[in-house]
Structure 1
Amino acid sequence: MDRRTIEEVEALTSTGTPKLADVARLANVSENTASRVVRNKGFIAAETRQRVNEAIEKLGYVPNRAAGSLASSSSMIIGVILPSLSNIVFAEVLHGIHAGLAGTPYQPMIGVTDYGLVKEQQLISSLLAWKPAAIVTTGLEHTDAARRMLEASRVRIAELMDIDNRPIDLAVGLSNREAGRAIARHLMQRGYSKIAYVGHDWLADRRSHARYLGLCEGLSEKGLALVAENRIDGPSSTLSGREALARLLVDGADIEAVAFSNDDMAVGGFMHCLAADISVPDKLALFGFNGLEIGQALPKPLSTVLSNRFAIGKAAVEHLLESAERSDPPKVIDTGFAIIEGATA
């Protein structure tokens, strides 16, 4: 594109919601052709289809799927995008969302990203096409195209679980970086100085990376650093936590305590200690994150951080429904966290 066209794109995305005519103009096709690409109707040359799709992405254009449906059905939708429903953390967030919507005419329309930003982008496009009253999504990181769609839509937007950066409209959650620092301070106050880390894929879970950075920062405040670390490539699980801790300890490193990326991983670490006859916390202290029920059901309750998942979901929808207008400036709601002392660290 030449510079004039780039400036036109920027003007469109900053002054109003892009229209189909804008897509057609940018792709240098008729509005009818652009419409057929959007609706996937009839034969369209591959090069033409590519130009139209590139224009759609650059503008953040979202087609109106609600046209022809009842206005009441579209206006009562709250789009909810979560990384997972098998992870109890996000099931509890959804429980909070349902509680916040109780007694209102609004209904959630739910999509699951499997922790993928491209998948999130696709879901945002699909949900916005139904003209929802609001979109609830997870985290503050999105693809450029997804962010343009969210910003251009002008519907209320809530980004959950993280407050460490500026939101589009409303952020509800906790500072994961500060939670990591709190873990470091707690372990050091308990007398541990040889601290290691066991975690999972940061690309899939960027909030765990923020906690890792906070953990390292907290240790550095006292002149310490991690003595060892092991991070698996895939998602977190109890089995992964067990295997990762076993690999961390195989070389006999001098470790007093291990901070895990979350409770799933920490529970697996506890299981390894049981199998390997490693006394917890006498020989090795373990610390998690999330405050899951399974961690508190262990023979020795897990030392961890409690994140207020139910409160995050409930507060988000309650604040979204207070006004149809976006927060100006964007608003941050800190639901906080708390240390669960437990018996493993």
Structure 2
Amino acid sequence: MSNAESNAPRRALTLRDVSEASGVSEMTVSRVLRNRGDVSAGTRARVLEAARRLGYVPNKIAGALASQRVNLVAVVVPSLSNLVFPEVLGGISEELENSGLQPVFGVTDYSQEREEAVLYEMLSWRPTGVIVAGLEHSPAARAMLQNAGIPIVEIMDVDGEPIDSVVGISHRRAGLEMARAIVRAGYRRIGFLGTKMPHDHRARKRMEGFEAGLAEAGLALADREYYSGGSALLKGREMTQAILSRRPDLDFLYYSNDMIGAGGLLYCLEKGIEVPEKLGLAGFNGVDLLDGLPRRLATMDACRREIGKRAARIVAGRSESGVVGGERVELTPVLQPGDTIRKAPPLNPA
């Protein structure tokens, strides 16, 4: 796509677009989308397929509203039980205060089908902008976002091709840097523990970067433990017990997030495992929960509140760069070694 095309003004799709794509009248399209009138099954299927392929979303706001927009910002995240996302939402709410814009939240539970439904409902109310977690969407969801005619900001991840603007970190880079830190500290038999795999694309990318970092040192993951449910202390304990029962020789465990990492740390302390001398541990996100642990779990700050604030600035037209659409903001997470990684030996002078 050329720069001219990517910077062209966005136009929301209309009934006419669906009419032309399906080969029926606008009146028939309206009847199908409102589920009214006597329309044949074949025509109905043709109209619905065209609308889905184009990403058309009906307009639910009153036709008399001059702007055809409401002062809402649609914010779509995968979870509210994960401690990461409430802080992102806090950053968005803080930045939008006194802007005249009000965030409304939708939760997808890491499901692309659920994301489609949430976006369809939110976009039908013609919000001023959309902030959505992640870069991976179904074709229908991507079409809806591409043709919404409003600012779209994808957040949390920059490892991919954004629809419009993007604010986040490189999760592959985060995993790579963690692996390098672990190798420098002398660990060699390393296991990975992750939840919501493979639907949590950011955790998957961290694991890919982590494996690449190990490969630099001629190492590979010794074992993995996955669980499809959410993040919880209890699950972290259970996963840690399972992987150490299989591979008691492991000397490091890398968790996809701090919640299961904290559960793993508590399990190790309860069992008298020497951390970090015999077994090192690290999580990801840098959540405040770590402040209350008996030892500080190694982690990496994901810049989540700042991500929320920067995304909200773009939607509100307050971006520092002055760029309108197509803005890329990549933040740099910082490794926090805590008390669960051995001190790396000093580098030999050149």
Q: Same fold (TM over 0.5)?
A: yes
Residue 339 (structure 2) aligns with: 343
Residue 344 (structure 2) aligns with: none
Q: Residues of 2 paired with 1:344 and 1:199: CA distance?
A: 18
Residue 102 (structure 2) aligns with: 107
Q: Please state how far the C-alpha of 1:132 moved relative to its aligned partner.
A: 1.4
RMSD: 2.2
Which ranges in structure 2 are unaligned for 5 or more consecutive residues?
Answer: 1-8, 342-350
Residue 49 (structure 1) aligns with: 44
Q: Residues of 1 paired with 2:323 and 2:286: CA distance?
A: 31
Q: Alignment partner of 1:161: what SS?
A: strand
Whether contact under 8 Å (1:166, 1:330) holds in the other structure is no
Residue 111 (structure 2) aligns with: 116
Query: Deviation string for 1:65-84 (max 9, x for gaps)?
Result: 12336456933111111111
| Change over 3 Å in CA distance of 1:336–1:126 after alignment to 2 | same
Amino acid at match of 1:307: A
Matches within 5 A, 1:21-170: 21-68=16-63, 70-71=65-66, 74-170=69-165
| Change over 3 Å in CA distance of 1:295–1:55 after alignment to 2 | same
Whether contact under 8 Å (1:176, 1:208) holds in the other structure is yes
Whether contact under 8 Å (2:156, 2:168) holds in the other structure is yes
Residue 326 (structure 2) aligns with: 330
Q: Please state how far the C-alpha of 1:24 moved relative to its aligned partner.
A: 2.7
1:218 aligns with 2:213: yes
Matches within 5 A, 1:177-192: 177-192=172-187
Q: Alignment partner of 2:311: what SS?
A: helix
Q: Please state how far the C-alpha of 1:204 moved relative to its aligned partner.
A: 2.5
Residue 273 (structure 1) aligns with: 268
TM-score by length of 2: 0.88
206-215 or 103-112: which moved more? 103-112
Residue 284 (structure 1) aligns with: 279
Name the % identity: 40
Amino acid at match of 1:331: E
204-213 or 186-195: which moved more? 186-195
Among residues 250, 255, 265, which one is paired with 2:250 in the alignment? 255
Whether contact under 8 Å (1:288, 1:302) holds in the other structure is yes
332-341 or 36-45: which moved more? 36-45
Q: Residues of 1 paired with 2:338 and 2:253: CA distance?
A: 15
Q: Residues of 1 paired with 2:315 and 2:57: CA distance?
A: 21
Q: Please state how far the C-alpha of 1:275 moved relative to its aligned partner.
A: 3.2
Q: Please state how far the C-alpha of 1:214 moved relative to its aligned partner.
A: 0.5
Q: Alignment partner of 2:241: what SS?
A: helix
Q: Residues of 1 paired with 2:196 and 2:97: CA distance?
A: 35
Q: Please state how far the C-alpha of 1:22 moved relative to its aligned partner.
A: 2.7
TM-score by length of 1: 0.89
Which ranges in structure 1 are unaligned for 5 or more consecutive residues?
Answer: 1-13
How many residue pairs are counted as aligned between the two chains?
331
Amino acid at match of 2:159: D
Whether contact under 8 Å (2:251, 2:280) holds in the other structure is yes
| Change over 3 Å in CA distance of 1:237–1:296 after alignment to 2 | same
Q: Please state how far the C-alpha of 1:146 moved relative to its aligned partner.
A: 1.1
Whether contact under 8 Å (2:303, 2:333) holds in the other structure is yes
Q: Please state how far the C-alpha of 1:329 moved relative to its aligned partner.
A: 7.6
Whether contact under 8 Å (2:145, 2:152) holds in the other structure is yes
Query: Deviation string for 1:81-116 (max 9, x for gaps)?
Result: 111122221100000001110111111121111111
Q: Alignment partner of 2:105: what SS?
A: strand
